[in-house]
Structures are given as structure tokens and as C-alpha cells.
Amino acid sequence: MKKVLFILLVLFTITSCEDVIDVDVPNGEPRLVIDASFEVYLDETPVSVEGGVRLTLSAPFFDEEVPMVSDATVFITDLSDNSVINFFESGNTGFYIPNSQFIPDFNTTYQLTVIHNSETYTASTELIPTVPIDNIVQGDATLFDGDETEVIIFFTDDGNRDDFYLFDFDFSLFLASEDRFYQGESFNFSYFYEDMVVGQDVTIKILGIDERYYNYATILIEQSEQDGGNPFQTPPAVLRGNIINTTNSDNYPLGYFNLSEASRSDFTIEE
């Protein structure tokens, strides 16, 4: 009899677990999300700058669509001479690009200004230097599944400064690194791709970032769990960047304003 009662109890528990439970996820007021990131390729001819300012609104956790912001005023001011670069909305909704050439210089402070719903958001930063990628080779090591593709990246750190880097491995895969353990040395490390095929082209980048952005990027990458989604386009509400609301400090924005010198190298996956 005891065995029968035990079985009935287990069946009741399993059946109960099939009940639908509504989870009430708290949703705060939408906040402006400002993703203002620029990559400056000074080692290329001609020099090029990639990036822009993407404006969205934060959305409830379970929403599949992110609201884009199209009615904003965006510009960057060179504080060394107060010259202004105005931005306009490109063909991509919510993405703003400069209306003239914007190539930032080192040792110069640039201020981003975004005006939306009669509130002004600002952030200031400088162009952060990087080092070139010396070489990329394909290795034959694997990790857990045994079918990963190893790529080994070589670069030489600048021993005259404390450097922080953001590596972009294509496919929205990132790694933040600091030179504390390889100051001024030639260094290499392995990165492992999953589901790569022979002949697949990848572009690997090394971006110079400052310590504050390094800390910000590290948390974003950890929270995104590298699941194929770009962590820098959807920062969590708990993580604030370097942008402030000068009109209403309580209505703070999310996102970051960053200027990085960058170096990139193309690589093709082999057998």
C-alpha cells in the first residue's frame, strides 16, 4: 500500500509540474539606448572610419522587436576647436552617420550629443590607440566537442603604455583583454570557432579601448554568453555606460560612446 501511495504522489507531482505558470516580469519605462561606436583604420590607405550612432529604446524582456528611434538630433563636437560634425539618419532606421568626413585624432576630446524628446544626452571620449595584428594561423587543437576550429592570433603589445583591447572575431564574437600579463611583449593566443567550414572567410579585428570600456565590454560579453547576438547593440538595463542625460539625470540612457583605433586581418579556414 505504501508503494501505491508513493507512486500516486509522484504522478501527482509530475502532473502538477505541467501547469502553466505566469511569470510577471517587471517592465520599467523605456530608456534611450545609444550605441555610438567608431573604428578608425589608420594603417589602411586611404584611412577609413567605420561605425555610427544607433538609437533604440529599451524593450520588455520578452519582446522580440526593439523600437528604433528616428526623430533625434545627433552631432559630435571636436572640443579642441569646437567644430561640429552633424549626423543624419541613414537608410537603416535608427542608424545615424556623419554628413561629412569624420576622422578623429589622438589626444583630442570628442563630445557626442543626442537630443531626443526635448532631452539632451552627452558623452565625451578620445581615440584609443591599438597595435596591428602580426599574423594569424590555423591550429589543430580542439576543446570539448573535438570539432572546433583553432585560430591563433599573434600581436605585439606596446610597452610604453597600459593597453586594453577588444578582439572582434566576426559573427558577433568578442573578447576583451588587458596587457597586464604581456606588457610590451610579443603575444599569441588561440580562439576556437564552432561549426566552421573549409573556405569560410573571417575578419579578425583588434580595437584599442580604455579601461572603463574594457570593464563595460567584459560584463556585456559575459552576460551575452556569446550566443551569436551582438552584446553591444542590446546592453542590459542594469549596466550603464559613459553617456549621461544633462536634462534629466533620473532618465539616464543606456549604451556607450567609443572611439577605437583598429587593425584587421582577413583569414580563410583551411582543412
Per-residue pLDDT of the chain (271 residues; tens, 9 = 90+): 433 333 333 333 444 444 444 434 445 688 999 999 999 999 999 999 999 999 999 876 555 678 999 999 999 999 999 999 999 999 899 999 999 999 999 999 999 999 999 999 999 999 999 999 999 999 999 887 778 999 999 999 999 999 999 999 999 999 999 999 999 999 999 999 998 999 999 999 999 999 999 999 999 998 876 554 567 765 554 688 999 999 999 999 999 999 999 999 999 999 7
What is the reported pLDDT for 205?
A: 98
Residue 59 has a pLDDT of 72
- The pLDDT assigned to 24 comes to 40
Q: Which triple of cell numbers denotes residue 3?
A: 508503494
Contact 34, 55 (CB under 8 A): yes
CA distance 93 to 67: 10
Distance CA 34, CA 172 (A): 18
Query: Which residues in 62-200 belong to E strands, given as ranges?
Result: 73-78, 83-89, 95-98, 109-116, 119-128, 133-138, 149-156, 164-168, 174-178, 186-193
Buried b (16+ CB within 10 A) or exposed e, 127-164: bbebbebeebeeeeeeeeeeebbebebebebeeeeebb
pLDDT of residue 97: 98
Three-class DSSP category at 86: strand
Distance between CA atoms of 74 and 53, rounded to whole angstroms?
A: 8
Q: Cell 552617420 maps to which residue?
A: 97
Q: Which of 41, 53, 49 is nearest to 256 (CA)?
A: 53
Cα separation, 252 vs 244, in Å, equals 6
Distances (CA, A) of 124 to 77, 113, 121, 211, 258: 9, 9, 11, 15, 9
- What pLDDT was estimated at residue 223? 82
Per-domain boundaries in the chain: 32-129+230-263
> Measured between alpha carbons, how far is 66 from 28 in angstroms, rounded to an integer?
15
Pairwise CA distance, residues 39 & 264, whole Å = 10
* Residue 66 DSSP code: P
